[in-house]
Amino acid sequence: MPSPFFTSPVHEFELGKFVAFKEVPARVTTILDQIRLSKLGDVVPARDFGTAPIDRVHSLAYRTYLKHAYKDWCDRGGNPEGVFPDVFPVRVAGNLRRWGKGDDSSDTAQKFSYTADGGLGGSAGYYCFDMTGVITDGTYEAAYAAAQVALTGAELLVQEKQHAVFSLCRPPGHHAHSDICGGYCFFNNAAIATRYLSEKLKVGKVAIIDIDYHHGNGTQDIFYSESNPLYVSLHAALDYPYYWGSEVEVGENEGEGFNVNVPLKLGTRDEEYVAALKEVLDTRVAPYNPDCVVVSLGVDTFVNDPIGAFFLTTPVYTEIGRLLGSLQRPTLFVMEGGYAIPDIGVNVTNVLHGFESRFPAQS
């Protein structure tokens, strides 16, 4: 089984500078140490479900790109620290639609070896929306492993009838679209687990509650036209990923009304956050009556987080867990962001302790 420690980029690009990469392996060890101390439950290794559940969310072209991107990059003389796109197809996205879904069969395409993804030189930008989706040696293996961790959690939740399972995924996933990486995310672990819960484990309706500081643009996009799952996100307004997360994004077609964004102001504090969470749980999640809940658990809402700009304190994570537990549904917690080492361990276990407090103790 691949290890989440396989990927460890050195730098990311921020405010015009290469700065230390914040999504580091120590995040996992810090949280795992705290989980063990907390005696919340057994720590079990992930099982391997193969690529099929990943391919239910991500395109084969994208997965194939991720698998080979780093070697191709290095072969072209790229910086061995990782793949950094130098061209993004943002405003020509409309033009790319002419290529259809991988249909590169026109005479021009064949004559000049055009492909929809821009070929070897263009694919880095085509499959990525920013410069924190840094692909390096081992990224594919780590992302694959993280997806298996989420899938294992889904299976344990249902087949062992647990009321909660925590999947300690790294890299995180909620910024990853079906064929675009970014925001430290490559495979969308929560989305992969959700599809597996619906399609393989037949759980019925799933509600995804995304409490990471950032909007989960990838998860939103993947399920935007579907009425199951319900996607609910509380996040900072006017912060990364900038172009997604407003209240007017409500879903489309069959999915209209099943995408709920709750943008909160920068500087949001404990009481405001708890009130917003309680309201959306009461007014949107509970009436949906989900059979099962997937929580995209980010703790970059913490006051000392080096990325987030909310002011949540460590004790309020227990209250957040209690509120999530008030739904009384089997719940899979999938780790997303949180970069304030070492506080992230306690903040995560506080959420889980709060959740547990709403369920009678098991003998």
Question: Quick one: 155 or 249, whose CB is closer to Zn ion?
Answer: 249
Question: Quick one: 212 or 249, whose CB is closer to Zn ion?
Answer: 212
| Cβ at position 212, least distance to Zn ion in Å | 4
22 binds Zn ion (CB under 5 A): no
Question: Quick one: 173 or 354, whose CB is closer to Zn ion?
Answer: 173
239 binds Zn ion (CB under 5 A): no
Nearest to 324 by CA among 288, 274, 360, 363: 274
* Residue in the block written with tokens 């890299």: 171
240 binds Zn ion (CB under 5 A): no
| Cβ at position 184, least distance to Zn ion in Å | 8
Report how many residues bind Zn ion under the rule CB under 5 A. 6
Per-residue x/- mask for Zn ion, residues 246 to 285, rule CB under 5 A? ----------------------------------------
300 binds Zn ion (CB under 5 A): yes
Question: Quick one: 122 or 216, whose CB is closer to Zn ion?
Answer: 216
Count of Cβ atoms closer than 10 Å to residue 1 Cβ:
11
125 binds Zn ion (CB under 5 A): no
Question: Quick one: 6 or 213, whose CB is closer to Zn ion?
Answer: 213
Neighbour-count burial of 268, counting CB atoms closer than 10 A to its CB (0-12 exposed, 13-18 middle, 19+ buried) = buried
212 binds Zn ion (CB under 5 A): yes
174 binds Zn ion (CB under 5 A): no
Query: Read out DSSP for 216-259?
Result: -HHHHHHTTT-SSSEEEEEEETTSTT-SS--TT----GGGTT-E
343 binds Zn ion (CB under 5 A): no
214 binds Zn ion (CB under 5 A): yes
Catalytic residue among 175, 177, 214, 215: 175
Return d(Cα 244, Cα 259) in angstroms, integer: 12
| Cβ at position 233, least distance to Zn ion in Å | 11
175 binds Zn ion (CB under 5 A): no
337 binds Zn ion (CB under 5 A): yes
305 binds Zn ion (CB under 5 A): no
- Cβ contacts of 273-276, under 8 Å, gap ≥ 24: 273/234, 273/301, 273/310, 273/312, 273/316, 273/320, 274/316, 274/319, 274/320, 274/323, 276/234
Question: Quick one: 138 or 171, whose CB is closer to Zn ion?
Answer: 171
175 catalytically annotated: yes
| Cβ at position 336, least distance to Zn ion in Å | 6
Q: What is the DSSP code (8-state) at residue 4?
A: G
Among 173, 218, 298, 354, binds Zn ion (CB under 5 A): 298
**Residue spans of alpha helices (H) in the chain:** 26-38, 52-55, 60-75, 93-97, 107-112, 119-126, 139-159, 189-199, 217-222, 270-280, 286-288, 316-325, 343-356
Q: What is the DSSP code (8-state) at residue 14?
A: E
Q: Which residue's CB atom is positioned nearest to Zn ion?
A: 337
Question: Quick one: 305 or 356, whose CB is closer to Zn ion?
Answer: 305
Return d(Cα 188, Cα 174) in angstroms, integer: 5
213 binds Zn ion (CB under 5 A): yes
Contact 188, 174 (CB under 8 A): yes
How many Cα atoms occupy the beta-carbon half-sphere of 342 within 13 Å?
A: 6
Residues in contact with Zn ion by CB under 5 A are: 212-214, 298, 300, 337
Catalytic positions: 175
